[in-house]
Amino acid sequence: MVDFGFGLVPSSRINLDLFDREKYEKLVAMEPDAKICMACGSCTAVCTAGQFTPTSLREAIEDVFNAKDDKALEALKACQLCGKCSMVCPRGINTRHLILSITKVYSKK
């Protein structure tokens, strides 16, 4: 086989019917703001922890929506709750509260 230096990319297609949506529905009931995020990435751009670790609230919100629970927790693991993200969010989401709620709902401990 020839190595061209690039190859087929695994499909990113997700069938949401195959996942248990219970936790996501619980999160949205607690934190309706999770649904109004438009994934602009302002939170990630200003994140202090994000400069040194793969911390990203934008990715975490997307991950919980796509039933990737572990990935979401990993993306928030290094958050220090400094709150800079809440100052720049154009949708006015209480991001600190949202981060705590995600951790609470999805944490396996």
CB of 11 or CB of 15, closer to another protein: 11
Longest dimension (CA), the chain: 53
Mask of contacts with another protein, 3-42, x by CB under 8 A? Answer: xxxxxxx-x-------------------------------
Looking at the Cβ atoms of 6 and 52, the one nearer to another protein is 6
Nearest to 63 by CA among 77, 47, 52, 82: 77
For another protein, the closer CB: 14 or 82: 14
What residues numbered 41-100 form the site for another protein, per CB under 8 A?
Answer: none
Distance in Å, CB of 11 to another protein, minimum: 8
Q: How far is the CB of 5 from another protein (least distance, A)?
A: 6
Return the HEC string of the chain.
CCCCCCCCCCCCCCCHHHCCCHHHHHHHHHCHHHHCCCCCCHHHHHCCHHHCCCCCHHHHHHHHHCCCHHHHHHHHCCCCCCCHHHHHCCCCCCHHHHHHHHHHHHCCC
Smallest distance, another protein to C-beta of residue 86, A: 33
Binding site for another protein (CB under 8 A): 1-9, 11
